[in-house]
Structure formats: C-alpha cells, structure tokens
Amino acid sequence: MPLVYINLMKGRPPEKIESMITAVSYAIADSLEADLDTVRVMVYEMEEHQYGVAGKPMRVVREERARAKEQT
C-alpha cells in the first residue's frame, strides 16, 4: 500500500488540497502500477514559524522574496 506524506504551508483553499490529493493518488497508482484503492495520501499543514529555508524562518524568506520582486 503506497503511503504519501505531503507537508504544505497553511493557507491554501481546501479545494486545491483535495485536487492535489486526487492528482497525486493517480500519479502514484500509475507510476507504481498499483491499484488506486491502495493509495493513501496524508497532508500536513504547517505554520510559517514551523518551517525554514537556508537557516531562515519562512517569514523572513517570504519578506526577502517580496523585496526582490519589488526591485525587478
């Protein structure tokens, strides 16, 4: 039974997450030639303070990206 764990930052609409679950389930079943009924997908949503990139909290990373976007 394939088990897929997905970690996401909070904030996406439930419909988008449900759509992703469907797409991932079919992709896993197809690529592994597994019965779709055996695929399990678990989605965990995280707050910004629970995630970091390159040693920086996600809040800081987003601020830096927004500033860089403004400069272009």
* Residue ranges of domains in the chain, CATH in brackets: 3-71 (3.30.429.10)
Report the alpha-carbon distance of residue 14 to residue 55 in Å, rounded.
Answer: 29
Does the structure show a pLDDT above 90 at 42? yes
pLDDT at site 57 = 92
How does pLDDT run across 47-66, given as a tens digit for each residue? 988 999 999 999 999 999 99
Residue 18: count other Cβ atoms within 10 Å of its Cβ: 11
Q: Residues with catalytic annotation?
A: 2
Question: Is the CB of residue 42 less than 8 Å from the CB of residue 5?
Answer: yes
Average pLDDT over every residue of 30-57: 95
Residue 72 above 90 pLDDT?
no
- Judge contact between 44 and 8, C-beta under 8 A: yes
Which tokens go with 19? 């759509």
Minimal CA–CA distance to 59: which of 6, 5, 13, 10?
A: 10
7-31 pLDDT, tens digit per residue, is 999 999 999 999 999 999 999 999 9
Instruction: Measure the CA–CA gap between 59 and 48, rounded to whole angstroms.
Output: 6
